[in-house]
Every structure is written in C-alpha cells, then in structure tokens.
A = this chain, B = another copy of it.
Amino acid sequence: MADFKEVLKSKTNEVNSIIEQFAFKEEGYQKRVFEAMNYSFIAPGKRLRPMIVLETYRLFGGNDIKTVAPFMAAIEMIHTYSLIHDDLPAMDNDDYRRGRLTNHKVFDEATAILAGDGLLNAAFETMSNTMVECGDNDTLKKMVKANAVLALKAGSFGMIGGQTVDLMMEHKKDVDEDTLLFIHKCKTSALLEASLMMGAILAGATKENVDALEEAGRYIGLAFQIQDDILDVCGDSAVLGKPVGSDEKNEKVTYVSLKGLETAKSEQEMYTKKAMNIIMNASGKEESFLLDLAKNLMTREK
C-alpha cells in the first residue's frame, strides 16, 4: 500500500509534467481568458483521466510519449471545462473546489463561461494539431479514432447528457435506479471509458480489446461514483477539501441513499473486480499499474 502511494505520486508527477507543456501562454488582447483557462487546467488534481490514457497506452505496447501526450492533455482539458461549467451559479453554484475558489469566483461568470468554452475547444484544437502534423497514415487513423471516441464520450450522448439529467433530477425524491445509473454512466464513466479506449486505440489494440476496455471503464466509473457518494457520508471534509453531507443537505438521491451503505460497498467491490478482470484478460498481464490504480480508487479518501 505504501508502495502504491509512492508509485502513484511519481506517476502523477510524470503526468503533470506532460500536461503542463500544454498550458496556455498568457498573452495577447485576450490574455484574461488564457489566465482563467490555466487557473483551472493547471490546478492540483488527481489527473486520473490522462494517467489512465498513458498507462493503458503503455500496457498495450505504446512507447511514444509524443503520440499520446496531446490526447492526455485533451481529455484533461475537457474534464476541466466540465468542472468550470458545473460550478457556475446557474448550475451547482459552488464557491470552492478542492479547497480553492472556483473559476467564476476568481474571475467572473462571463469569463468562466468563456474559459470553459475555450478549454473544450482547445481539446479538439490540440488533437487536430497533432493529426495535421502526423506524417504516417497508420498513426493518423489511430489518432482519428481516438479523437472520435473523446468527441462521443464528452458530448450529449456522454458527459453532457449525464450532467443534463443530473440537473433535471435535483430535489426530486423519486429518482429510480435506472435513471441514477444513466447519470453515473454518462457523467462519470464516459470520460473514464474514453481514457482506456484512447490509450488502447493509440497503442494499436484490437477492436475486441477496445470494446472490452469500454466496459471496464464503465465499471471503474460506477465504482468511482459510489466512492464519491460514500465519502459524502463517511469522509473527512479536511481531506476532501469540501464539506461532507452535501448530498443529504441538497436532498440528492445517491447510490448510498437509494441502496444503503452496505449494498453500495458490495456493488462497488463487484464493479471494481469486473473491471480488473477485463483489464487482466485484455492485456494478458496479471500485474500492472492500471490494475493497482483501479483497485486503489475503491479505497481513496478524496
């Protein structure tokens, strides 16, 4: 366990150093929007999605950081923009995220909307730049596929769809399990599915393996979301960097409120095991950092 924390720290540092190369130059008439984009993009975070892209890429034999780096940056830009827009007064109206003021509190609402738009657009700009420069037809086709996966999973059939339904369900007490699963699959799983799939596609994995990893991503997302719900009940607000009990206060239906803490915990374990089995089978490797990561997400404290 101590070992995993050490490895995770060094992997996070590696991902951070890659991500930071894609920070925006804060210059020009429109400097303000670049400052707002960087404020959230370069903020401390788990970097879970780009880390999974990189580790899946490696697990399936990829060894060219330059090929995978723009896709790592792109998915982190999309994750970041979704946080900025979710925190807006018209959405979740949050003043703090991870102990720091949210984007619209530091800048203003209009700038936060534009910074979110800017990051979403920049994700595709980053991928399009590397595709234009790619001189090899085979690599280009992999990049085009990875780009399409991210576009699909981030959009109205993925993350944006999930956020739409999440907002519609606020203060409703009769949310059923199917609706809750839809929200979690879209809002949380979709980008994790994309992370695994993009890494595998860029490394040249078979279609069968990419499809299997999509399923693994779905399970990792569900287990991740259940842990979020558990931490909101049993977590330590100092470690989390946000108050606990907010779901109950907001009368939000969660996995825990719907099925009870014990069932939630056992389903979380089941999802994690399923994901790990798929990753083992697809990669043909019984040990990998990606497996350790999936396992440890279940016991995370923040």
Contact = CB atoms under 8 A, between A and B. Distances in A.
A42 to B, nearest CB: 15
Interface in A167-204: 167-168, 179, 182-183, 186
A156 B282 CA distance: 40
Contacts of A156: 24, 30, 33-34, 37, 118, 121-122
A132 B154 contact: no
A69 B55 CA distance: 37
Interface stretch (A137-145, A255-263, A287-295): A137-145
Interface of A: 24, 28-30, 32-34, 37, 81, 85, 88, 90-91, 108-111, 113-114, 116-118, 120-122, 124-125, 128-129, 131-132, 137, 140-141, 144-145, 147-148, 151-152, 154-156, 160-165, 167-168, 179, 182-183, 186
Contacts of A85: 113-114, 117
A110 B33 contact: no
Contact of A128 (B30, B91, B147): B147
Given A29-B165, A110-B90, A121-B155, A131 B160 contact: no
Contacts of A90: 90, 108-110, 113
